Structure 1
Amino acid sequence: MEDTLRLLIGNISQARAGQRAGHANNGLPITRHYARLLADLAHERGFDGYLLNFEFPFIGRSAQARAVESWISLLNTELKKKIGDYAETIWYDSVITTGALRWQDRLNSRNLSFFLASDSFFTNYTWPAQFPSLSAQYFLGLDSKHLQGSDKTLQDVYIGIDVWGRGSHGGGGLGSFRAADHIDPTGLGLSIALFGPAWTWESDEGKEGWNWEKWWERERTLWVGPAIEGAHVEVPEPPLREGEQPCPYPHSAFRPMREFFDSKPPPKPDLLPFCTSFCPGVGHAWFVDGEKVTHKEKGWTDIDKQTSLGNLLWPRPKVEWDENDSEEALPKVSTKLTFADAFNSGSSVVINLSAEESPQEGTAFRCLWIPVQSIAMTPGGLYEAELVYKVSCDNSVELDAALSAKAETAVEIKPVSSLDLENGWSRLSVTCKAIAPASAGSGSNSNTVANIGIILAVASEEASLPYTIDITLGQLSVSPKSSLTGLSPYAMRLLWADCTRENSPDSNPPQSETLIITWESCISYTSPAIVGSDNPDPEVPFPPWTLDRSPHWIPRLQYANIYAEKGAWNIYPSQAAVFLGTSGWGSGAHTGAGPNCFVLERSTLPEKLKDGKVRFYVQGVTDRGSVLPWGRCAFVDLDL
């Protein structure tokens, strides 16, 4: 409770001299002090805002409630000033305007003021079936003058669902869909806020036989549905609270959460290059360019490495014949996540195609279209798409794969390269250009949503034989590409690496136990800068070289792989080097180095690396998914 007062009052001067302003009779003092500090913290640590949960009664009653409402608006202003317009404050419904702790489970006049000061509103999860529609009715009945020009919509009202089922309608767990039925995001227009979605793991954590594979089966069922099409999902009947009546509205059979929302593509690659390694942020091992560099029996978790699993692959791909009116039955198709193999992460996605015997005789050549990921493109913009994959099949068919993109409007596709990599992987690269329809006009700013996918050619000498095909997807990237010719070529590399020690104040004398490895990346041109002569003609109407001046022309580092080797002298690690881990945004935030930092404790190093000279290698991975060759990486030596 005292902390809430401190949020309002700010930093209290300890000076004994000087005049202090007296308190007003009708309110508490409100300053920007902690609003500024919290905005600075969000900016430094890379998050977008705050969920505000004041889950205790206000001793200052309505006066304190009014002061908190005003302070929230200050926090909102400071966040948007420091981070951008997308910064957000979310009010959790607990305290009402009288200052009492009284959950309302819906939007109403008792909590409206806090919603107006925030960007969005987050209800508790113990609501009866009619409350979501009551929240929508209340919002739609608000007088516009009380909204004070804000652009709030029903989507800013988040109705809580507890996946653990603690009093939540439908009983939680796989029964959470019953609560989502009443919230109805696509019908009513409300949003959903999920409490405790880690139920899929934590409810059986520590039990014998529990592992990542069993977790993933439950996880995918909750979000996208069962692996086998049409499979029955057993959902227990929800328990009724004391005095609660059964739900008066009939519920359907199980529905995964994805069915309650419209699918949207990620941001345009012009703004944020798209790269996925098909990893949910967990795994048993870590792979670099398809080679396993470490394995952990108990598994690892790193949300920084979470990427798209292909939004068009789940619950299963919508395979169709490619530009073919064949009446032949399409093969059955399913997808699964595997932790046994990956390219630049801890997992990959396997697409399984299975065709039964066919009455067709003789040789056959078929082409299948398998969409993987939707992406928004600027009409007329040029993009490069790259896919790393493996394909295997039985002996009855021969295969060839191509990368392509399709949209409602035309998309120009030009192959760039096809390359066989190590460890059985292959890489396909194409350029894509979405053509704007003639009706759009030359000044149109509309986006084209294209589906990136695989065209799989299947040839067989005997068409009637069944076949099975597995396509393993390791990495997919889509990035903008300049249409200019003659650009000065450049290469990305690490400019330097360094390592500092942070003393431990708990030891006597203080010892350097925390190691902080930092680095910087750069680009350098690979061709000489030639202007023609020492005295160039000042009237030539063109520059001496052509550079890419688009906003995001320079690649960024997505993360770095860190290795260590004792007594090394090479610029690249040998087979004796130890893989230590990967960097991430949070790993170096407190140093001010952001993502270009890796922090480790000396005590966690393998015994052979705890003393003597150790060389730490830093291997950059770009936001296009490229692992920098060792000749363009960096290392730093440290005497431990």
Structure 2
Amino acid sequence: MHKNGVRILGTFIVEPGNTTGFSDLLERDAKGKFIFVEQLAGLAEYYGFDGWLLNFEEHFPDTTFNLGTTLNFIEELRKASDKRVKGSEIVWYDSLTIYNRVVYVNGLSPLNAPFFDVSSALFTNYRWNPLTQLLATAAISKSMHRNYDVYMGIDVFGRGTFGGGGWGTGTALSVIRPAGLSAAIFAPGWVFENFDGLNFEERNRKFWINGGAADAELICRPVAEFAPVWEAGTEDFLYTDFNRGYGKKWFQSGREISARPWVHVGAQSVLPSFYPGDTDRLVWKLDSQIAYNGGHSLQIVHKTAAGVDAKTSSCKLYQLNMKYKKDLRFSFSYILDATQKGRVAVYFILKRFNGVTERHEVGLPVQDGWGIKTVTLDVGKTDEEIFGTKVVELGIVHIHAEAPAEAETAVLRLGHICLSGHPEQKLPGISKISSSILASGKRQLNWELNYSGFSTGEASSQLGVKSRVTGEFAYFLVYKGLGELLGVSYSLGFISNVDTGTGGDGAIYRVDGVAFDGRIVKGAWF
């Protein structure tokens, strides 16, 4: 999720009727510091949270409640969390009021404004009225110069939400955005749960990005039409292999290495910034039948429309804000069938400091199987001419002599994309794997990174993407026996069921490291 710019909050929730130990939350130590502040901040740092959502749906004991103490606790938690995780947030949920009673205000009012004042943001309840609570919340928050810090709640299951939730979620968004407020969409898993998982991918796409103008189910515009387009990657790096966090198979370097369906939220990659519209001729689709890495590839398709004979079609993929350098490396894997008629190219748009833009293209030769193309985006300009220049857009262009006869024609398949302004990193090796059996009967594997080939200080001085957990690697592939893929790990360990029938304690294992730019370091069998 972080790779897509999504912030992740831990939830501290007190359910109605469950107040055991709740009063202890505000206890202080001998030095007068809140005991739980450092504990919660430490948990956020350890697990990679970007802060906390505080949802108190039960009141404190009346004999111990003190409004000032509660406000101090929230403020100290915000400061402690930000100290450990820069930019972290503490979001207050619209439940407990200043009178120590649970009242769902459904907006911002004097009953919860003091909590909002010491928090990073307010998440309102879902039963707001667009003519009363919404307008009042907008007025109060704007007077505080914090209107975008108020997230108006939307329950996708309905339950009193304006617009009815479900396919009507966009109805609520259509009034929140003009009011100048933010939105919090609760329980988007409705698209799976409400339909018992049937046609999940189709319904999920319909809910978020588009269902087509003629779709009878979608009673309003999809969610993405109300969301701003954010830049993908950083100012120096972008990598994506189009993974969605699940797949029917697992591919690595274009080769199927596991035929088992899988789900792993950590495997989510950066998906395109732009989504196809109903009138677009060149569109992208995610395909799970074949991939380069993981479970999905990006297929570029040409759609034929009656009366439209344009010879050039473009498909915008990513909005970027990358610093342009002459040695900016662009690497990608692709398949371009020999039967494809016309010219296909990847385009990128440069924007100078004065706002002037120019478009450049990288032509693609025919590639029947997976192939990798690596180029530097040197456009032949002097240092003075490229001063302050950014790469702001990346997409595909298709130039054809005549429109394809079919309604949809596959043009190109992309497996991964990597844009890097960093020198290529030197990668460590994988140390010997240790194996042990847990009390649960499962096997735990652990390994370390081997920097023996590095000079003193070389690893720490390298520029590029790094993880405080996995170092120069994005993830690890864990194999057993003659090459059976056990799974994928985003840490320096892996837990697997013990299979005594195919090796038991005597089995051999191998761990391969996959770097953030897609390169693989193969480990030895142990």
User: Which of the five TM-score ranges fits, normalised by the shorter chain?
Assistant: 0.7 to 0.9
- Residue 242 of structure 1 corresponds to none
Q: How far has the Cα of 1:434 moved from its partner?
A: 8.8
Distance 2:365 2:288 in 1: 26
Task: Give the Cα–Cα distance (whole angstroms) in 2 for the partners of residues 385 and 495 of structure 1.
Answer: 27
Of residues 266, 276, 286 in structure 2, which corresponds to 1:315?
Answer: 276
The change in CA–CA distance for 1:317 and 1:456 in structure 2 (over 3 A counts) is farther
Q: Which runs of 5+ in 1 are unaligned?
A: 12-20, 22-28, 143-151, 236-252, 320-331, 483-488, 507-511, 529-545, 566-575, 585-594
| 2:517 aligned residue | 624
Aligned twin of 1:519 = 448
| CA pair 494-419 structure 1, distance change in 2 beyond 3 A | farther
Write the distance in 2 (CA, Å) between the matches of 1:377 and 1:494.
30
Shift of residue 267, structure 1, vs aligned partner: 4.2
* 2:290 paired residue number: 341
Residues in 2 aligned to 1:73 and 1:558: alpha-carbon distance in whole angstroms: 35
Partner of residue 476 from structure 1, selected from 372, 393, 417: 417
- The yes-or-no answer on 1:302 pairing with 2:302 is no
Establish whether residue 426 from structure 1 lines up as the match of residue 355 from structure 2: no
Letter in 1 for 2:410: I
Change (3 A) 1:112 1:548: closer
**Is 1:205 aligned with 2:201?**
no
Note if contact 2:346-2:363 (Cα within 8 Å) is conserved in structure 1.
no
In the TM superposition, residue 419 of structure 1 has moved relative to its aligned partner by: 9.7
How far apart, CA to CA, are the structure 1 residues paired with 2:484 and 2:112? 55
- In 1, the alpha carbon distance for the partners of 2:363 and 2:516 equals 19
Question: Is this contact kept in 2: 1:414–1:432, CA < 8 A?
Answer: no
Measure how far apart 1:410 and its partner are. Answer: 4.8
SS of 1:91's partner is: strand
Task: State the one-letter code of the partner of 1:353.
Answer: H
**Cα distance between partner residues in 1 of 2:425 and 2:207:** 46
Question: 1:37 and 1:351, CA in 2 relative to 1: closer, same or farther beyond 3 A?
Answer: same
Deviation at 1:105, TM superposition (A): 0.4
Question: Contact conserved, 2:209 with 2:222, CA < 8 A, in 1?
Answer: yes
**SS of match in other structure, 2:377:** strand
Corresponding residue to 1:159 among 152, 171, 177:
152
Structure 1 partner of 2:522: 633
Q: Give the letter for the 1:303 counterpart.
A: V
Report whether the alignment pairs 1:92 with 2:37. Answer: no
Of 579, 583, 587 in structure 1, the residue corresponding to residue 485 of structure 2 is 579
Give the whole-Å Cα distance in 2 for the aligned partners of 1:410 and 1:599.
51
Secondary structure of the residue aligned to 1:132 is helix
Tell me the CA shift for residue 441 of structure 1. Answer: 10
| 1:159 Cα deviation after fit | 0.5
Distance change in 2, residues 1:83/1:473 (3 Å): same
Any conservation in 2 of the 1:403–1:428 contact (CA below 8 Å)? no
Counterpart secondary structure, 2:449: strand
Shift of 1:104: 0.4
- How far 1:101 sits from its partner (Å)? 0.8
CA distance in 2, matches of 1:38, 1:419: 55
1:214-259 deviation digits (Å, cap 9, x = unpaired): 1111111111112x4x333425xxxxxxxxxxxxxxxxx5101111
SS at structure 2 position matched to 1:140: helix
Aligned pairs for 1:201-240 (under 5 A) are 201-205=192-196, 210=198, 214-226=199-211, 228=212, 230-235=213-218
Length-normalised TM-score, structure 2: 0.83
Q: Matches of 2:33 and 2:99 in 1, distance apart?
A: 22
How far, CA to CA, are the matches of 2:210 and 2:308 in structure 1? 33
Q: How many Å separate the matches in 1 of 2:382 and 2:214? A: 42
Of 317, 331, 334, which aligns to 1:372? 317
Partner of 1:451: 393
TM (norm. structure 1) is 0.69
2:508 maps to 615
Cα distance change on mapping 1:359 and 1:114 into 2, 3 Å = closer
CA distance in 1, matches of 2:447, 2:383: 51
Q: Is residue 391–residue 469 contact of structure 1 (8 Å, CA) maintained in 2?
A: no
Structure 2 distance, partners of 1:92, 1:284, is 38
Q: Which amino acid aligns with 1:597?
A: G
More deviation in 447-456 or 215-224? 447-456
* Structure 2 partner of 1:499: 434
2-side partners of 1:169 and 1:497: how far apart? 57
Q: Deviations 1:471-514 (Å, cap 9, x if unpaired)?
A: 222211211145xxxxxx8742424132242541x7xxxxx644
Query: Residues of 2 paired with 1:548 and 1:318: CA distance?
Result: 50
Is 1:287–1:345's contact at 8 Å kept on the other side of the alignment?
Answer: yes
| Residue 458 of structure 1, CA deviation | 3.7
Cα distance in structure 2, aligned partners of 1:356 and 1:136? 44
- Report deviation, 1:48: 1.1
- The alpha-carbon distance between structure 1 residues 340 and 490, as it changes in their structure 2 partners (threshold 3 A), is closer
State the Cα RMSD in Å: 3.7
**Which amino acid in structure 1 is aligned with residue 93 of structure 2?**
Y
Is the counterpart of residue 6 in structure 1 residue 24 in structure 2?
yes
* Alignment length (residue pairs): 496
**What is the CA–CA distance in structure 2 between the aligned matches of 1:435 and 1:74, rounded to whole Å?**
53
Aligned residues of 1:344 and 1:474 also touching (Cα < 8 A): yes
- Which among 597, 600, 604 is matched to residue 496 of structure 2? 600
Query: Percent of aligned positions with the same letter in both sequences?
Result: 24
- In our comparison, the structure showing a higher alpha carbon Rg is 1
Deviations 1:506-549, CA, capped at 9 Å, x for gaps: 7xxxxx64413223165957xx9xxxxxxxxxxxxxxxxx9997
Verify: 1:254 aligned to 2:254, yes or no: no
Query: Could you tell me which amino acid in structure 1 is paired with residue 417 of structure 2?
Result: L
* Alpha-carbon distance between aligned partners in 1 of 2:386 and 2:377, rounded to the nearest angstrom: 20
Structure 2: 5+ residue stretches without partners = 1-18
Secondary structure of 1:497's counterpart equals coil
